[in-house]
Amino acid sequence: MHIAYFINQYPKVSHSFIRREILALERQGLVVQRIALRGWDGALQDGEDIAEREKTHYVLQGGVAALLKPLWQVLRAQPRRFCAGLGLALRLGWRADRSLPYHMVYLAEACRVLQWLQASGAEHVHAHFGTNSTEVVMLASALGGPAYSFTVHGPEEFDKPQFLHLGEKVRRAAFVAAVSSYGRSQLYRWVAHEHWPKVKVVHCGLERGFHEDAIDNPATAPRLVCVGRLCEQKGQLLLIEAARRLAAQAVAFELVLAGDGEMRGQIEALIAQHGLQAQVRITGWISSAQVREELLAARALVLPSFAEGLPVVIMEAMALRRPVLTTYVAGIPELVRPGENGWLFPAGAVDELAAAMGECLEQPAEVLQRMGEAARQRVLERHDIDTEAAKLAQYFKVPA
């Protein structure tokens, strides 16, 4: 079966889970065409990402002229379908997250995508994230392209479902994949009961190569690592406040913030304000291999998120036998079990976060090892990439 994947930006450091999914589908025997809006000129460190870039068609490469020609060709060749697509784009632009001109651009992007899909003979197209990427493949389908599906991760889709017209996207889709049971429940809220059967749970998966040769000894250094974009939803400012409490109690610790993002300056200022430069380090953007090394060097992952879907880094940490300190948010409690493989605390609760960090730092090696083994067993049972890709492959062939 020949399918296509459509992503806003690909490859991307934070989208390695999409790359794993595509490669696993190819191991299932599917032919996968990669299409992305952008990503042809991004800085990449991972060799697999660099290889993926060579296989990807880029919609916005070539500028406006590259969009106008397909738009005119589709209009001339299929005026009725074009008018239907235009009407849909206009409806989607009404009371939307973005103004109407954006939706006209999405229509032009859909025309270019449509031509690539038709030229390759793709039988189905799948998008990641229920935002503009799904709108583009929905418009391409309305213009005469193949059926589409999409994966919803959250939290963005759940923050503004009406402005993203999430219900319309689900109703027109062949099926929708949610990465957790929580995500599935949120999708149920925006469509009639008759559409519920098309909402499937397909977990993000891990490749065996990521975790197979990982050492089974816990790290003994008093080091915790937080992996993720430096942004409001990940809660790093709260983490610095918790670190200040530990420092005030003379607790020995090291905290590594692995990542970068729009809030880096604000986080660095708070670190300086509390005099935590000796205890807290920010790595900036790092490769998947470097993330792995940071996780292995820490005794646990700490992720004080305010909003999530189900973070892939939690799965990665657990697969490497690292317990997780995180919040009762979205799909996280489906994976992390307090006292068994990690700690859960209320989102936004700095005292509870500091207490969990302190408790983790006090644990002897044998306790961390027991929790790490439990974490590994649970995540491998639920998040094997080939198992999850096999589910997707079946849904592509028989959507509902």
Q: Name the one residue in this structure whose structure tokens are 């239907």.
A: 84
pLDDT beyond 70 at 400: no
Helices in the chain by DSSP H: which ranges?
16-27, 47-54, 63-77, 79-92, 100-120, 132-142, 156-159, 166-172, 181-188, 208-211, 236-248, 264-273, 288-297, 312-319, 350-362, 365-382, 385-397
Least confident of 49-53, 103-107, 123-127, 164-168: 49-53
Residue ranges per structural domain of the chain: 2-205+384-397, 208-382
DSSP state of 254: E
Give the model confidence (pLDDT) of 290-309 as tens digits: 999 999 999 999 999 999 99
* pLDDT (0 to 100) of residue 13: 78
Same fold, 2-205+384-397 and 208-382: yes
Query: Residue 389 half-sphere exposure, CB side, CA atoms within 13 Å?
Result: 21
Give the model confidence (pLDDT) of 326-376 as tens digits: 999 999 999 999 999 999 999 999 999 999 999 999 999 999 999 999 999
The pTM (predicted TM-score) of the whole model is 0.92
| Class of the domain covering 2-205+384-397 | alpha beta
Grouping H, G, I as helix, E, B as strand and the rest as coil, residue 201 is: strand
* pLDDT (0 to 100) of residue 31: 98
Phi, psi values for residue 216, rounded to 5°: -100, 15
* pLDDT (0 to 100) of residue 220: 85
| Class of the domain covering 208-382 | alpha beta
Q: How far apart are CA 142 and CA 203, in angstroms?
A: 28
Give the model confidence (pLDDT) of 238-293 as tens digits: 999 999 999 999 999 999 999 999 999 999 999 999 999 999 999 998 888 899 99
